[in-house]
Structure 1
Amino acid sequence: MPNFVFPDLPLDGLLRRAAVRDPDGIAVRTTDTALGFGELDLLTDRLASWLRRQNGGRSGVRTGVAHVLDPVFAATYYGTVRSGATAVLVNPLMGEDGLRHVFATAGVEVAFVPAATAELLTKLRGVLPRLRTIVVTDAPDGVTPGDTLSLHLELESAPHTRGHSPCDPGSIACIQFTTGSTGPPKGVLLTHRNMVANAKQTALAHRLDPASVTLNHLPLYHVMHLNSAVYAGACQVLCQDPDPFASLASAASAGATHYYGLPARLHRLAVDERLAAASGPPPGGARLTAVLSGGSGLRPEAARALRDRLGVPVIQGYGMAETSPLTHCQRPGRYRTGEVGGTVPGTECRLVDVDTRTPVEVWSTGEVQVKGPQLMAGYLTDAQPSRIDEDGWFSTGDVGYLDDDGELRLVDRLDDIFKYDNEIVSPSRIERVIGEDPRVADCIVVDWPDAVHGGLVWAGIVLRENPGGAYAGAAPGPGGSGRAPGADVLASVIERANERLADFERIRLTEALDAVPRTPTGKPERRALRQRLKNRTAA
């Protein structure tokens, strides 16, 4: 294991340390709110004190914390772990089924959520017997849905007592659920030590320091961005306007040095006519040093377009819930389009053959395995195998290869690749080829079951002009075999892509789509789409 030293602190100790060093420095800012590190630390104390009373002094109480893009998340998140409870991170965009799964699986007793989520939870009270308290985080006037509490009113009476986390750094701090793109979301157990280690790893990889100003243009508040900025003593600006181009004005106004965005939003920004027409200095501001993308792959052409227009590197990283999350990141001074970079400090990576499980050489394709101090303690339920071998290597389920410099390039998910006549087919590679056609707005590739070849390449394509209709390629597609408006354009797109693909990769079936099914973080929902196609085949 590479020598890597990080603070031996509970997770909330990062905030206390930042508050002692620079109490007046701005920790989190929005258009109408600014919280200094000292203020955030005091708010965290009050919330922790209130929660300890609610829990009768018990430690480890599972507490749902919705990661809304608001300073309140930072307070509820750090306040929960400072109280000795375990923070269960909740996506507020989930519907009833998702909330039921997360709250029931984790055994959540107390929840800090926005009003819209509170309304859904009040409907589920009958099937969530352990959920005893719902606290609404965005109801300052005290008007809350159902039998719930207002965080604003509860904290008015909370004492200003200085507190600290009673937890050992090796105990569980958070439960983070996976996206569920390859099955039901799994609860991942992350220790204080996991999170603190990754906070430092991320801060080093992203080159954050007290002078940094990070602009967060994600739809939700991710703990990686919170923890790393607090570790570095950097300011975070939360941009709640969903318009990607407007976010650049926010970055310039804030003097942002780092811009964090999702691939889906960055793709839209790259083709935004306003970006191309903007004159004068770079729209993101003179201080901007990098655009950082994560959550799923960013298309090379989008990365190049943003790099050329903004004049800064567009950097991608790699990780997952099980690794707190970051394991790899491109460096601002050294990046290549399509790669996810080298390992962050203290992390090891190797690739193994998908069949024999033996390590492979550089430039050889295999499953990515990693280990390091950010690696999870395990899964929430025993029904989930840990995927960590006796030597500490975690099998990620992703397929890729390493170059001579140790830089990682991902090929696909192990669950997504399939075989055509015993040749491995990567849907992501085919999507990249299709996506380079300027007539394509978005696309998704999965396998269509075939008794002779194993799997045929099926492509769902969203055309920029969105003419609708469907086109059948070498075999009848699920949308029908007749020609319709846009069929000639679609046929031309497929012909152009197939010229660049190997025979086993050739697109055999095609359908025009209005939109590609994706998760809230932008990942393609291949599993659900594949099942729908199989149902059509059976019908």
Structure 2
Amino acid sequence: MLPAAKGAQGIFYRKHNFSFPAHMNYGIYFIERILNFKEKRALVNGATGEELTFGQIVREVLSVAASLVGLGIRKGDLVAVVSENRSEVLTTIIAAMCAGASVTLINSAYTAGELLHTTNITNPKYMFLSPTAYKKHHETLKKLTFVSKFCLFGDSSSKEIISYNDLANKEADFTNFCDYYGRVEVALVLYSSGTTGLPKGAKVTHANLIAVSQQHDFCPDKSALTLSPLCNTFGLIITLKTLVNGKMVILLSRFKEKQFLETIQKYKVQSLMAAPPLVVLMSKSSLVDNFDLRSVEIIYSGGAPLDESVIKELEKRLPNLRVLQGYGSTETTGPITEETVADRRQGSIGKAVQGIVIKVVDIESRNVLGPGEPGEVCVNGVILFDGYIGKPKSEYFDDDGFYRTGDIAYYDQDGYFFIIGRLKELIKYKAWQVSPAEIEGVLLKHPAVKDAGVIGAPDPLAGELPTAFVVKQPGAEVTENDIIEFVSLEVSPWKRLRGGVRFVSEIPKTGSGKILRRVLRDMLKAKSKI
């Protein structure tokens, strides 16, 4: 991996030698790459044991793409996919791109209101659904008048709903297939995580996806297991990147602890793509010791910061393992910085990845900052998205074309980055700014704490008071005062839990593991009215 470089005025970048095909279509690029691995096992459903080779993926993608063209799909049309993790999600994405369409991925766990909000952003013409998603959203789907055709993964018993299996098994003439390869700039519309409000539709281009596929591979020649939803950037981009490099991916659609550990043992999984809550659970779970997990060499975690104590605890339990962190966003088609096995620094989220330019600026003056000075992370480069649907770029980009992430971080003299928190999430206690992530890291050190989330409770005198929501370990006996005193011994006075502790059954999070602090704030408001 090339060393990170520091440009003028504290701007960081990493040199790259990306090559782009003339057709500039990621679907075609994906097929061209995986044709090199025809006989290798590519996709495995960890729950059912169903498998696809790379060659079978190619055949299925081409059949579906030809069928879509036959159904009337045209360059620039939008295809929506609403499903839990399953192989058809990936084959549909690539097939739609090959047919000239753009694709949007919608979380099947969305409420009716969230589904309506996201589909109204993009107005998809075609919609693919899993049976589970179709059953859940059946009534809402009737309101989507802009959708001309619905397709059900598997077989369909309704004449009004197209069967995916019929599309995938269609005999097609591919002689002139390249005639309906459509070059469109926008390949995907992905939705921002919505941690501070409703999701926005981010336009990811074919160039973005092709470039990300050529970035440094954090786990070369290693099979990977993921249960991160394919509808979010972390789950999708790393899965596509793993496949395009000829490595097997095992998919699980939901987390069941015993099944998850059994799958690792059965397939001798070498790398895990895991949101932070899963890493925390593995560091504390009593079941881990009952399974042979020696095959696992790397856990790649992203979506939210991991406390160093959690990493050390898990690496102590599994000596062959290394936990690597990455920092990224939907808007950068995945990673902004990442660690490697050979290049880690305690507390850091690594160095700039290939294809990205980073600067850290003062929140008020917007001046570029030096080492050790916290400010807002702003990014540019070939992997940067093309803006949000229906939103002017001036709202989110600075005058130099850098995307303003809203994340607060600093870098050291060697170019390692350290995340402090979100600009909108920082708790303002009197004249101090308090990072919720820092306090959450302290809370997770307590043996009775399984999970935690921190927000600021409004206060007329102080502005906001650090307040914790805590999930207890099963059978643990701990009081609010125990937690408050524990934190007080670990942090500066202005970071103490002056807003108290609320014990809850779970911490609300996005699929990528980010804490939904707006939900915690709603919970706090609701409790204050009782």
Same fold (TM over 0.5): yes
Equivalences, count: 506
SS of 2:282 mapped into structure 1: helix
| 2:303/2:514 contact within 8 Å kept | yes
> Structure 2 matches for 1:137-286, cutoff 5 A?
137=153, 139-140=154-155, 142-143=156-157, 147-161=160-174, 163-164=177-178, 166-168=181-183, 171-201=185-215, 204-208=216-220, 211-220=221-230, 222-240=235-253, 242-244=255-257, 246-276=259-289, 283-286=292-295
Cα deviation digits, residues 55-84 of structure 1 (max 9, x gap): 35x211111023532211121010011110
Corresponding residue for residue 340 of structure 1: 349
Corresponding residue for residue 513 of structure 1: 504
Q: Does 1:7 align with 2:19?
A: yes
With over 3 angstroms needed to count, the CA separation of the structure-2 counterparts of 1:334 and 1:4, relative to structure 1, is closer
CA distance in 2, matches of 1:431, 1:374: 31
Cα deviation digits, residues 397-443 of structure 1 (max 9, x gap): 11111122211111111110032222111111111122211121222
Structure 2: segments with no counterpart, 5+ residues: 1-12
CA distance in 2, matches of 1:6, 1:224: 17
CA distance in 1, matches of 2:505, 2:261: 28
> Structure 2 matches for 1:463-478, cutoff 5 A?
463-465=472-474
Q: Does 1:325 align with 2:306?
A: no
Corresponding residue for residue 480 of structure 1: none
Cα deviation digits, residues 222-275 of structure 1 (max 9, x gap): 221232123312222224572345434433432433221222222222111122
| 1:191/1:377 contact within 8 Å kept | yes
Q: Percent identity?
A: 22
Q: Does 1:305 align with 2:313?
A: yes
Corresponding residue for residue 84 of structure 2: 68
| TM-score, structure 2 normalization | 0.89
SS of 1:378 mapped into structure 2: coil
Q: Does 1:102 align with 2:92?
A: no
CA distance in 1, matches of 2:188, 2:99: 13
Aligned-pair distance for 1:358?
Answer: 1.0
SS of 1:350 mapped into structure 2: strand
Q: Which amino acid aligns with 2:309?
A: E
Cα deviation digits, residues 23-73 of structure 1 (max 9, x gap): 2222222353222222211211111111122235x2111110235322111
Q: Which amino acid aligns with 1:230?
A: L
Corresponding residue for residue 403 of structure 2: 394
Corresponding residue for residue 135 of structure 2: 119
Decide which of 21, 25, 36 is 2:36's aligned counterpart. 21
Aligned-pair distance for 1:372?
Answer: 1.7
Structure 1: segments with no counterpart, 5+ residues: 468-485
| 2:471/2:505 contact within 8 Å kept | yes
Corresponding residue for residue 55 of structure 1: 72
Decide which of 292, 301, 304 is 2:300's aligned counterpart. 292
Aligned-pair distance for 1:383?
Answer: 5.8
Aligned-pair distance for 1:2?
Answer: 4.6
With over 3 angstroms needed to count, the CA separation of the structure-2 counterparts of 1:147 and 1:199, relative to structure 1, is same
CA distance in 1, matches of 2:136, 2:528: 36
| 1:397/1:414 contact within 8 Å kept | yes
| 2:299/2:324 contact within 8 Å kept | yes
The worse-fitting range, judged by mean Cα deviation, of 230-239 and 214-223 is 214-223
The worse-fitting range, judged by mean Cα deviation, of 8-17 and 446-455 is 8-17
Corresponding residue for residue 57 of structure 2: 40
With over 3 angstroms needed to count, the CA separation of the structure-2 counterparts of 1:337 and 1:91, relative to structure 1, is farther
With over 3 angstroms needed to count, the CA separation of the structure-2 counterparts of 1:505 and 1:338, relative to structure 1, is same
Cα deviation digits, residues 110-129 of structure 1 (max 9, x gap): 11111122234441244321
SS of 2:508 mapped into structure 1: coil
With over 3 angstroms needed to count, the CA separation of the structure-2 counterparts of 1:215 and 1:129, relative to structure 1, is same
Aligned-pair distance for 1:377?
Answer: 0.6
Pairwise CA RMSD: 2.4
Cα deviation digits, residues 427-484 of structure 1 (max 9, x gap): 11111122211121222211111222211112222222567xxxxxxxxxxxxxxxxx
Q: Which has the higher contact order (CA 8 A, sep 6+)?
A: 2
Aligned-pair distance for 1:364?
Answer: 1.2
CA distance in 2, matches of 1:42, 1:443: 46
With over 3 angstroms needed to count, the CA separation of the structure-2 counterparts of 1:384 and 1:373, relative to structure 1, is closer
